[in-house]
């Protein structure tokens, strides 16, 4: 059970069809608005029909804590194509007790290249907050998650130290102070489809956005958009096995196959989400139907990970309510 659309198609073409050819095990892909909801209902009812579910990390952690998912031993996953042990090959945090990451997506800065002289567009997360050097409206996420992290990185906090700083009252104050510098120029959004539309309509010159949305607009609709990868905040979703799955053994075999180095790279041809294994980067091919390489468009490309932050699920589980209330108050304050 997955999310449908282009995302499901990428998995069907890259994982499921080749897996069936190799093993003879048929994979029936079904869609859901959020697979965590029917999975929980099935486990609660003792009537599980789903063998593998693609879950967001937050849902996977919660359902695992509730004993509704099968534990997966990272040591059982295949080594990288370069011989690296699986747990050293996956990006930090992407293999949890009950989930193996399928892909990496990111919140980045997208901008309209026509609003700047050639080659003079923004290059760093600090540029997003520099209204003087790069005048124009900014699209800002109407949610503290990612927004506060980006503000701190723009203020000079190294990615590796962001959460240590944000855990302190002074760090939170520092993030909001940085956001104050662009507030009068901010246009706030809360749905993923909005940032590319804000750019297309000329309402903003640059915006926080999901990398896949900017990629699709640029490559699918020929919009003059580009991405600033510096200061990206990346997240992931992945494969889990519901407790009581009727084909648990086959489910694990599918997960091991789909998350191996070469296979995990194949889905990236269809959608601009990165494989979670470092060794997979070497196997990423061209954008489907073109001769253009996909790797530069992925959050996990080595050149895009220089100042990248892995979103901390643990941090936000503890502070989502508190920081959400402060952010909402900040939104309506003068």
Q: Cα(90)–Cα(79) distance, rounded to whole angstroms?
A: 10
Residue 322 backbone zone (phi > 0: left; psi -120 to 50: alpha; other: beta): alpha
Residues 100 and 140 in one domain: no
What confidence score (pLDDT) does residue 327 get?
A: 97
Q: Identify the band that residue 202 occupies on the pLDDT scale cut at 50, 70 and 90.
A: very high
Residues 162 and 210 in one domain: yes
Backbone angles phi, psi at 86, to 5 degrees: -50, -50
- Which residue range forms the structural domain that includes residue 199? 107-234+311-332
Helix (H, G, I), strand (E, B) or coil at 96: strand
Please report, for residues 39, 40, 238, 242, the alpha-carbon distance to residue 44 in angstroms, rounded to integers and kept in the order given: 9, 6, 21, 11
Q: Identify the band that residue 307 occupies on the pLDDT scale cut at 50, 70 and 90.
A: very high
Say if residues 134 and 206 touch (Cβ distance below 8 Å): yes
Q: Cα(207)–Cα(217) distance, rounded to whole angstroms?
A: 14
Residues 228 and 155 in one domain: yes
Q: Give the count of beta carbons closer than 10 Å to the beta carbon of residue 105.
A: 22
What confidence score (pLDDT) does residue 192 get?
A: 86
Query: Which CATH number belongs to the domain containing residue 288 in this structure?
Result: 3.40.190.10
Backbone angles phi, psi at 193, to 5 degrees: -75, -15
Q: Kindly report, residue by residue over 293-304, the tens digit of the pLDDT.
A: 999 999 999 999
Q: Kindly report, residue by residue over 149-186, the tens digit of the pLDDT.
A: 999 999 999 999 999 999 999 999 999 999 999 999 99
Say if residues 294 and 268 touch (Cβ distance below 8 Å): yes
Residues 124 and 204 in one domain: yes
What confidence score (pLDDT) does residue 233 get?
A: 97
| Number of structural domains found in the chain | 2
Token pair listed for 13? 């073409």
Residues 120 and 72 in one domain: no
Q: Give the count of beta carbons closer than 10 Å to the beta carbon of residue 143.
A: 17
Q: Cα(259)–Cα(78) distance, rounded to whole angstroms?
A: 8
What confidence score (pLDDT) does residue 228 get?
A: 98
- First-last CA distance in the chain: 45
Residues 192 and 323 in one domain: yes
Residues 117 and 226 in one domain: yes
What confidence score (pLDDT) does residue 7 get?
A: 86
HSE of 194, CA atoms in CB hemisphere, 13 A: 15
Residues 195 and 324 in one domain: yes
What confidence score (pLDDT) does residue 243 get?
A: 98
Q: Kindly report, residue by residue over 16-28, the tens digit of the pLDDT.
A: 999 999 999 999 9
Q: Cα(229)–Cα(125) distance, rounded to whole angstroms?
A: 8
Q: Kindly report, residue by residue over 99-132, the tens digit of the pLDDT.
A: 999 999 999 999 999 999 998 999 999 999 999 9
Give the dihedral sign, CA 37/42/43/44: positive
Residues 14 and 95 in one domain: yes
Asked if pLDDT for residue 93 goes beyond 90, the answer is no
Give the total residue count for the chain.
Answer: 334
Asked if pLDDT for residue 318 goes beyond 90, the answer is no
pTM of the predicted structure, to 2 decimals: 0.85
Percentage of the chain lying above the pLDDT 70 cut? 100
Residues 99 and 124 in one domain: no
Token pair listed for 298? 């992925």
Q: Identify the band that residue 51 occupies on the pLDDT scale cut at 50, 70 and 90.
A: very high
Q: Kindly report, residue by residue over 247-286, the tens digit of the pLDDT.
A: 999 999 999 999 999 999 999 998 899 999 999 999 999 9
Q: Cα(34)–Cα(26) distance, rounded to whole angstroms?
A: 23
Asked if pLDDT for residue 314 goes beyond 90, the answer is no
Determine the average pLDDT of the residues in 129-137.
97
Q: Cα(100)–Cα(76) distance, rounded to whole angstroms?
A: 11
Residues 90 and 138 in one domain: no
Residues 84 and 204 in one domain: no
Backbone angles phi, psi at 157, to 5 degrees: -80, 125
Mean pLDDT across the chain = 95
């Amino acid at each position: 059970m997955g999310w449908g659309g282009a995302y499901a198609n990428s998995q069907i073409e890259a994982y499921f069809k080749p897996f069936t050819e190799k093993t003879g095990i048929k994979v029936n892909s079904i869609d859901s608005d959020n697979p965590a909801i029917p999975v929980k209902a099935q486990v609660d009812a003792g009537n599980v029909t789903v063998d593998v579910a693609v879950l967001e990390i937050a849902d996977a952690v919660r359902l695992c804590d509730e004993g509704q998912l099968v534990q997966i031993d990272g040591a059982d996953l295949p080594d990288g194509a370069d011989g690296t042990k699986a747990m050293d090959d996956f990006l930090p945090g992407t293999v949890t007790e009950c989930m193996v990451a399928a892909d990496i997506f990111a919140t980045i800065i997208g901008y309209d290249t026509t609003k700047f002289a050639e080659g003079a567009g923004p290059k760093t997360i600090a540029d997003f907050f520099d209204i003087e050097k790069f005048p124009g409206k900014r699209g800002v996420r109407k949610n503290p998650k990612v927004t506060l992290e980006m503000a701190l990185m723009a203020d000079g906090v190294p990615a590796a130290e962001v959460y240590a700083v944000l855990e302190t009252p002074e760090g939170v104050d520092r993030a909001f102070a940085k956001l104050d510098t662009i507030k009068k120029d901010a246009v706030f959004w809360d749905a993923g489809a909005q940032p590319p539309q804000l750019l297309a309509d000329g309402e903003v010159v640059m915006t926080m956005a999901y990398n896949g949305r900017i990629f699709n607009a640029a490559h699918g609709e020929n919009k003059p958009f580009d991405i600033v990868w510096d200061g990206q905040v990346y997240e992931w979703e992945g494969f889990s096995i519901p407790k009581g799955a009727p084909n648990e053994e086959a489910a694990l075999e599918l997960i091991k196959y789909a998350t191996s180095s070469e296979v995990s790279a194949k889905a990236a041809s269809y959608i601009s989400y990165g494989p979670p294994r470092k060794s997979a980067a070497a196997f990423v091919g061209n954008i489907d139907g073109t001769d253009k390489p996909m790797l530069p468009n992925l959050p996990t490309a080595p050149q895009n990970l220089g100042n990248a932050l892995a979103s901390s699920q643990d941090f936000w589980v503890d502070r989502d309510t508190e920081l959400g209330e402060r952010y909402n108050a900040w939104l309506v304050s003068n």
